[in-house]
Amino acid sequence: PKTDIVFLKVHKSASSTVMNILFRFGEMHNLTFAFPIGGGNQLFYPRHFLARFVEGFSPSSPQRFNILCHHMRFLQPEVHKVVSSSAFYFSILRNPVKLMESSFAYYKGASAFSRVRSLEEFVRQPYHYYNPTDGDRHYARNLMTFDFGFNPDGEVSAERVKLMLKAIEASFDLLLISEYFDESMVLLKEMLCWDLDSVVSFPLNIRDSSTKSPLSDTVVEKIKDWNRLDWEIYTHFNRTFWERIDRDIGRERMQREVKALRERQGELARTCLQGMGSVAPKHIRDSSLKPLQHGSARILGYNLKQGLDKETERMCRRLVTPELQYSSALYKKQFAQNLP
């Protein structure tokens, strides 16, 4: 199994669920994480990543960490300083239309969104609300482009797009697609030589559907135009994702693997969860399992079954612990000797 891993956690793309998978694997195998200094949950985002943002990094004794997975704006030469040269790099992408709809609900407080009532209104005349000099502008345009380290306001020429895609391909071993999450996990498992249980998950940091609104075709086209760089990244890597599946696994085997993954997930849901699924924040009884609520989105969570034996309870709890709580627990464990 590969244990040196860089995951670029792209915003609003099922990346919290992937992070939970990495947290669990790292914890089970006693791996080290490249935590933000002070144990925060972002590596000084939205600044470009620097090695000195990592707790325990020092240029004089370059300690290598196994897993780098907290939010960052990618800058590979700096990432190289904190992980082994053989590390496996991957990320996950999402359809930019869905991504923007989610971003609008989640980052309603961002400068570009705060004065506008609806996403429709925003894309009708984006420059009325969007200012390229705002420090939080990236939440409102080409968010994936920004997270990969590029300029979200760059011109969309064929030449520039080609260079950007080439740069991403040169840095990353695998780009997953959140709309095909189960297929993505099967592919990830293959590439990392992990077993099935290592990539089983329950969806984390997801929104209650009551805050989601359907978009008209006109609005969809406007969102694509406004996020043209993201759209180019997404369509390119959506294509290579399926090419990779055809080449390395084949559709038939993929179907079998996905079925096995879903069956195992169902089994774990029956073992671990009350009511088999996610619940609204006000119905989560264990406060340590409550996810952070943000913007106008209502983030769902889980209730564990009562009366589980110790070992099962621990396994189940890991599966449903929200990102901030899990990160903080692992940070304390890793730096126990330094904490007052």
Say whether pLDDT at 331 is over 70: yes
Nearest residue to 227 (alpha-carbon basis) of 69, 119, 85, 336: 119
Residue range 181-185: average pLDDT? 98
- Model pLDDT, residue 70: 98
User: pLDDT above 90 covers what percent of the chain?
Assistant: 89
Residue 159, both tokens: 């030449």
CA distance 15 to 243: 22
- Model pLDDT, residue 205: 85
Q: Which of 52-61, 201-210, 261-270 has the highest mean pLDDT?
A: 261-270
- Model pLDDT, residue 308: 97
Q: Given the structure tokens 């760089």, which residue do they identify?
A: 229
CA distance 278 to 206: 9
Say whether pLDDT at 206 is over 90: no
* Phi and psi torsions of 33, nearest 5°: -110, 145
Which CATH number applies to 5-334? 3.40.50.300
Residue range 71-84: average pLDDT? 97
pLDDT band at 30 (very low <50, low <70, confident <90, very high): very high
Mean of all residue pLDDT scores within the chain: 95
Say whether pLDDT at 339 is over 90: no
- Give CA separation, 323 vs 18, 20, 58, 317, in Å: 10, 7, 26, 12
E strand or H helix at 279, and its extent? none
pLDDT band at 290 (very low <50, low <70, confident <90, very high): very high
Q: Specify the higher pLDDT residue, 299 or 97.
A: 97
How much is the pTM?
A: 0.96
Residue 216, both tokens: 């008209």
Encode pLDDT of 246-281 as tens digits: 999 999 999 999 999 999 999 999 999 998 789 999
Say whether pLDDT at 193 is over 70: yes
Say whether pLDDT at 340 is over 60: no
CA distance 227 to 140: 9
Which residues, 6+ apart, have CB-to-CB distance to 130 below 8 Å? 112, 122, 137, 140, 141
Whether the CB-CB separation of 322 and 278 falls below 8 Å is answered with no
Encode pLDDT of 235-253 as tens digits: 999 999 999 999 999 999 9
What are the structural domain ranges in the chain?
5-334
pLDDT band at 336 (very low <50, low <70, confident <90, very high): confident
DSSP annotation of 89 = E
- Model pLDDT, residue 62: 76
Task: Give me the sign of the Cα torsion angle 177, 180, 183, 186.
Answer: positive
pLDDT band at 61 (very low <50, low <70, confident <90, very high): confident
- Model pLDDT, residue 200: 97
Which residues, 6+ apart, have CB-to-CB distance to 184 below 8 Å? 92, 176, 177, 178, 241
Residue range 22-40: average pLDDT? 96
pLDDT band at 338 (very low <50, low <70, confident <90, very high): low
